[in-house]
Amino acid sequence: MVAATDKPVVAILTIDDELQLFRGNRKNFADLIQTGQQLGITTYVVTVKNLKLNSARVLGYTYLPADEAWIETSLPRPNIVYNRIPQREDERLPHVKRKLEAIARHPSIHLFNRRFFNKWSLFRWLKMSTPTKNNIPETRKLTQLSVLALLLKKHRLLYLKPVRGKAGVGIMTVKVQPEKHLPYRLQIQEEKGSTTYHCTSLQRLWEKVRKLSSANGEPYIAQQGITLATVNNRPFDLRALVQKNELGKWEMTGLGARVAGSTSITTHVPRGGYIDEPERLLLSNFGQEKTNIVLSKVRISAIAFAKQIERSAKTELCEMSMDLGIDTTGHLWFFEANSKPMKFDEPHIRSKSLERIFQYSLYVHRRRMHSQGGAAR
């Protein structure tokens, strides 16, 4: 049994908003506060502006489910700050950067989710480690024509992705069809729908890619395209949620699957994709025995990816979600990891994911109290 004073105060950090007090997924925040309360842990939302690191009390927001209302109130300064600033652009603002640095340096505050990941760094990091490198598609920075030429010699399908991309916007695929009059087929996914171009030569393809990617304003990576396993002709991929548990060890909280929309090049649900059961999808492709092997490989690899990402990021992490592909032969591929996982809609994963954040918070808090000889603040 843990005494009340042994419990941390957890603040969910987000950015201020002039009209609606703060930004971010309010349903997620309300669920977090409720889970914290059930475990007897004071939990509230705090904005970058209101988190004053030198005062004992700060202005935060709690949620009253009965009134469906957010209440502004004075609360004790947190021991744990759970960063849920929703947008990359916000995290790049100088005053936000400074605040995050100050929180990370603060002697009695532990910061969860220091920053967003960048796709290029993830691939560099995972390529460096033996247990993960065989599951990483060949990836290069898309800086010049020769990069496309080199990759297209080896792979007939490429994915081109903005390094700080999200929800599939700006992702392109290049398919080589040598037998065709216009052998390079380029497809780009936009905010709404997608557009396809056919190019006569590599030079033309490069010009088009350059134009489209610069419109996006982000550097791109070019990646070996994986021929994903399918169900009813639609590719699917797996979403793993990996979090630290009550012992401070990485564990896979849950595994979901996303099946692509009929015309989409990605599996995102807002693009016509839908949620399904990983085991069911794998069984229809591989049968029971191989499905078991694939699932255990996923579990082991997800932990190996998380460990290697944490080691390379040089900061203690608490959770991440991962997009993983299974190709038609049953081989596992890593596509990306997100440092601020979106809500999983599968109810069993959702409830466990909320609890784990607090179980790990308790672990971190106890560890700190222990190392400070019992003084939490």
Name the segment binding ligand ADP (CB under 6 A); options: 17-25, 165-173, 201-209, 353-361. Answer: 165-173
124, 166, 198, 350: residue in contact with ligand ADP (rule CB under 6 A): 166
Least distance from C-beta 260 to ligand ADP, angstroms?
A: 7
Q: Which CB atom, from 88 or from 210, has the smaller least distance to ligand ADP?
A: 88
Residue nearest to Mg ion (CB): 323
Residue 355 found at the interface with Mg ion (CB under 5 A)? no
According to the 3-state scheme, what is the secondary structure of 86-148? CCHHHHCCHHHHHHHHHHHHCCCCEEECCCCCCHHHHHHHHHCCHHHHCCCCCEEECCCHHHH
21, 102, 167, 275: residue in contact with ligand ADP (rule CB under 6 A): 167
Residue 171 found at the interface with ligand ADP (CB under 6 A)? yes
Cβ atoms of residues 1 and 34 within 8 Å = no
35, 266, 339, 353: residue in contact with ligand ADP (rule CB under 6 A): 266
Show contacts with ligand ADP in window 324-343 (CB under 6 A): 325, 335-336
Least distance from C-beta 298 to ligand ADP, angstroms?
A: 14
Give CA–CA dist 136/103, Å, rounded: 33
# binding residues, ligand ADP (CB under 6 A): 20
Burial class (CB in 10 A: 0-12, 13-18, 19+), 210: middle
Place of tokens 């040089």: 314
Least distance from C-beta 248 to ligand ADP, angstroms?
A: 28
267, 291, 359, 361: residue in contact with ligand ADP (rule CB under 6 A): 267
Q: What are phi and psi of 332, to 5 degrees?
A: -90, 140
Q: Which CB atom, from 36 or from 225, has the smaller least distance to ligand ADP?
A: 225
Strand partners, 63: 70
Give CA–CA dist 118/78, Å, rounded: 28
- Among 336, 118, 345, smallest CA distance to 254 is for 345
Least distance from C-beta 335 to Mg ion, angstroms?
A: 6
Residue 226's binding partner among Mg ion, ligand ADP, none (Cβ under 5 to 8 angstroms by kind) is: ligand ADP
- Among 265, 271, 259, smallest CA distance to 234 is for 259
Burial profile 225-264: b = 16 or more Cβ within 10 angstroms, e = fewer = bbebbebeebbbbbbbbbbbeeeeebbbbbbbbbbbbeeb
Least distance from C-beta 226 to ligand ADP, angstroms?
A: 4
- Residue 344 is given by DSSP the state P
Least distance from C-beta 2 to ligand ADP, angstroms?
A: 38
Ramachandran sector of residue 77 (left: φ over 0; alpha: ψ -120 to 50; beta: rest): beta
Give CA–CA dist 32/278, Å, rounded: 26
Q: Which CB atom, from 48 or from 160, has the smaller least distance to ligand ADP?
A: 160
Residue 254's binding partner among ligand ADP, Mg ion, none (Cβ under 5 to 8 angstroms by kind) is: none
Residue 165 found at the interface with ligand ADP (CB under 6 A)? yes
- The contact mask relative to ligand ADP for 211-240 (x = CB under 6 A, - = no) is ------------xxxx-x--------x---
Cβ atoms of residues 85 and 15 within 8 Å = yes
Q: Which CB atom, from 35 or from 321, has the smaller least distance to ligand ADP?
A: 321
Give CA–CA dist 316/294, Å, rounded: 29
Residue 237 found at the interface with Mg ion (CB under 5 A)? no
Show contacts with Mg ion in window 273-332 (CB under 5 A): 323
Q: Which CB atom, from 43 or from 223, has the smaller least distance to ligand ADP?
A: 223
Interacting residue ranges for Mg ion, rule: CB under 5 A? 323, 336
- Which residue ranges make up the site for ligand ADP (CB under 6 A)? 137, 159, 161, 165-168, 171, 223-226, 228, 237, 266-267, 323, 325, 335-336
